[in-house]
Amino acid sequence: MKHQFLKVAAASPELKVADPAFNAQKIIEIIEAQHQKGTELLVFPELGISGYTCGDLFLQKTLLDGCLGALKMIAESTKGYPMLVFVGLPLAVDGKLYNCAAALCGGEIKGVIPKTHIPNYNEFYEARYFSPAPGGTRRLPFGGEENDGAAFSAELVFRDEDHPEIAVGCEICEDLWAPASPAVGLVQRGASVIVNLSASNETVGKREYRHKLIAAQSGKNLCGYVYASAGVGESTSDMVFAGNNMIYENGTLLAESLPFSGEVCEAEIDVGFLLNERRRNNTFRAETAGSDWLDARFVTEGDLTLRTVDPTPFVPHEAGERFERAELVLTAQAHALARRLSQIHAKTAVIGVSGGLDSTLALLVTCRAFDLLQKDRKSIYAYTMPGFGTSKRTKGNADALMETLGVSAFCVPISDAVLVHFRDTGHDPAIRDTAYENAQARYRTMVLMDVANETGGIVIGTGDLSELALGWCTYNGDHMSMYAVNCSVPKTLVRHLVGAEAERLGGEAKSLLLDILGTEISPELLPPDERGGIAQKTEDLIGPYELTDFYLYHFLRRGDGPAKILYLAERAFAEKYDRATLKKWLVNFFERFFSQQFKRNCVPDGVKVGSVSLSPRADLRMPSDASAALWIEEAQNL
């Protein structure tokens, strides 16, 4: 797949116990169908060629010979297909019987993996028939034309010849449940995806536990995990099998088939993201794989067809999860601020309130913090500081918000003072350039700092993560505070948090907050237009915040480069922005992100609430003078 996505599937085909020829035909039918869909990795259940519930028939040479013949027939069916296929069968090797997974590709049996952990409890009596995997690697007297037989080992890792970073390891059923899972060693040898051929029976509560196991296995090993389990064709003498197939990526469920449905489970695993996570995580230790690596050709250049690309990765889509996320973030912000206020024995909190989203959220959080500390909200000193560009709507909303929340409200008009400052510095106020705008922001910060000194308090910062990413703040103006509660909250999440508080508070507060949400985002540093409306619209100047947040998330959280980010953005915003628009703002994002690092290197303390933060003390160690040339060149040439 393009950009290191791998298209995978798990299937539980129709099955007849102890009928290898029938089972092979059903497996081949699915292989052919999945080839048409562009699947690159396909996994079938444990002992799927024979059936898992054969019992003492496993000891019959007739069945074993039939399974081996069926395996060769299935392998032949993969000839010419760029697909790595795993099928399960019993196999006799050196006088012992093993529960095995065979890896097939291009018409060859690339390798055979014996099961390591053999269960012998409850309804499972595999130890009656099967031996655990022996150590080392040996060759079996069958396989592809280009080798001397198939490799036989529990430590095999199959990697694509042209994309060696896409590598697959295999464990079988009970291996997942064991304390010392083979997957750990396999990922350390380079496997980025683990497959599991399983025959896990269905009982009350087991499905939920199975989900937890696979989520943990894929999460702690920073890998993709493709799980295929036996289906309804197995014998029901003592057990029933539901064909629970699941695909996980780093602890996140990508797809699953419904129990007893017979559905093929399909998804696209982002191997590039997994490799980035491994580079970032210094507790993940890789080892040299050596001779246990086997090459195959199974990665293609097909497009994404299954994976939904989320246009708002910082904001959950399910209503219940959205509310839970909002409450968690707001509570984290409030507790962090409360701790700082308590630590320094602050008497007041001083905050500038503009009537915009960021200062609204900061004020809501400050109120929560004061409530936690059982402090009177009147000790929150909230200031409006109308200047050259302040509109009636934002000023009115700011005043109403302060009154509704019960804080101490003050107004300090700054226009006259800034004009005096212009005279002192020799700036012509008719020239509405950066100096004209920033003088207002810096004067406002000076007012707040002085009030904080006067009242024994601290200034609460209002700037958000998206503004920091783009450097959309005035150095030593709104860039500076004594505690920045919003510094790790992206703009798309700011909107959601304010909306969540509107629903929680209800009444007049709700109406007010919804009006603030509906106001055009602007720093309001330029005079209003001829109709009195906001003239300076932020998103016209630096791009839509939903794109900024999308680019920021994929660049920092998932480690994606410009080409992959644009590829994903085209799918996430297909109905809203054309390619040229997406590319324009992508180039702008990288230009601003690199050039504005100097502002982020001296930002105040602020709580981290999500997976992305730009704090120079913890999350982003980046030189201010780093060149953006590589990223911009790639983006411009797309």
Alpha-carbon distances of 135 from 140, 152, 196, 361, rounded to whole Å: 15, 10, 20, 60
Alpha-carbon dihedral 353, 356, 362, 367, rounded to 10 degrees:
70
**Choice among 7, 26, 110, 115 that is catalytic:** 115
Question: Nearest CA to 557 among 455, 478, 488, 482?
Answer: 488
Residue 118 identity (one-letter amino acid): I
Active-site residue flag, 173? yes
Helices (H) and strands (E) in the chain, counts: 20, 20
Q: How many CA atoms lie within 13 A of 561 on its CB side?
A: 16
Residues linked to residue 293 through DSSP beta bridges, in sequence order: 157
Q: Where are the alpha helices (DSSP H) in 221-318?
A: 271-280
171, 268, 173: which is closest to 230 by C-alpha? Answer: 173
Distance in angstroms (rounded) separating the CA atoms of residues 71 and 19 = 12
Residue among 40, 46, 174, 501 flagged as catalytic: 46
Give catalytic status of residue 76 as yes or no: no
- Both structure tokens of 61: 């040479």
Neighbour-count burial of 283, counting CB atoms closer than 10 A to its CB (0-12 exposed, 13-18 middle, 19+ buried): exposed
- Among the listed residues 173, 223, 367, 487, the single catalytic one is 173
Which 3-state string (H, E, C) describes 578-636?
Answer: CHHHHHHHHHHHHHHHHHCHHHHCCCCCCCCCCCCCCCCCCCCCCCCCCCCHHHHHHHH
d(CA 570, CA 586): 12
Catalytic, 530? Answer no
For 24, 318, 328, the CA distances from 322, given in Å and listed in that order, are 46, 6, 10
> Under 8 Å CB-to-CB from 449, ≥6 apart: which residues?
459
Residues annotated catalytic, as ranges: 46, 115, 173
